Amino acid sequence: MKIKGSKILITGGSLGIGKAAAKILVNDGADVIITGRDQGRLEIAAEETGAIPFMADVSQLDQVEDTYKFIKENWGKLDCLVNNAAIGSMSSHLTEVTEEDFLKVYRVNVIGAAMMARHAALIFKEQNYGNIINIASTAARKGYARGTVYASSKFALRGMSECWQAELRKHNVRVILINPSEVTTAFGNPERKERPERDNRLRSEEIAHSIKAALEMDDRGFIPELTIYATNPW
């Protein structure tokens, strides 16, 4: 895919990986819309990245529809969806988890991602072309103690990615799953403040670079799944 001149939608674009991805893609000539739930943070991110802000919560289906209405009215096309919006959960033992824990996380990480992809797929099938990048986690590959809610949501995203690959390849749509290991972002921080960088841990920039690199492969091929670890986190 040629980045320059492409139209890209990034959910969860006001902080962390989404914001870093917007910056690197805009710098390479893409037109980028970023969504998020906090208008103030979204506008700051837009100023810093050059992206177009659109306030929307992926867990609210009417706001998902509003996002795509905005895209159709302003662009009339879409080249790539980056499904990045996600939330964490309290690390709870199995005996402590509640239904609400599941519903809160799944509304964003699973249902929200699926509904964003559904609308993108409608556009992509009509165009006979498109890209979906799902940002999962190494937690999508291996569960861990007290990770029942979050890890299972990322396992679900990984499974959905494989289903979408099977459905959409014949329409020239590439579905790419990216699994970051621990990244020093605001993710999981109740105050939604970016954590300080650590020399031996991944930054949002490494994941943004991976998104860009995966997209830049010629459209005749695609990377089904890419996992990024810090080289030496110990």
Query: What was the pLDDT predicted at 199?
Result: 87
Q: Which helix (H) or strand (E) holds 36?
A: strand 31-36
Query: What was the pLDDT predicted at 194?
Result: 61
Residue 233's CB is within 10 A of a number of other CB atoms, namely 11
Structural domain containing residue 196:
7-228
Contact 85, 113 (CB under 8 A): yes
Exposed, middle or buried, 44 (CB in 10 Å: 0-12/13-18/19+)? middle
* 159 falls within a domain: yes
* 1 falls within a domain: no
Contact 72, 48 (CB under 8 A): no
Q: What is the pLDDT along the chain (234 residues), one digit of tens a residue?
A: 999 999 999 999 999 999 999 999 999 999 999 999 999 999 999 999 999 999 999 999 999 999 999 999 999 999 999 999 999 988 899 999 999 999 999 999 999 999 999 999 999 999 999 999 999 999 999 999 999 999 999 999 999 999 999 999 999 999 999 999 999 865 655 555 666 888 889 999 999 999 999 999 999 999 999 999 999 999
Read off the CATH number of the domain in which 209 is found: 3.40.50.720
Contact 34, 49 (CB under 8 A): yes
* 26 falls within a domain: yes
| Catalytic residue numbers, as ranges | 150, 154
* 79 falls within a domain: yes
Token pair 């998020």 in the structure block, residue: 36
* 2 falls within a domain: no
Number of domains in the chain: 1
* 161 falls within a domain: yes
Query: What was the pLDDT predicted at 190?
Result: 57
* 234 falls within a domain: no
Query: What was the pLDDT predicted at 191?
Result: 58
Query: What was the pLDDT predicted at 210?
Result: 98
* 233 falls within a domain: no
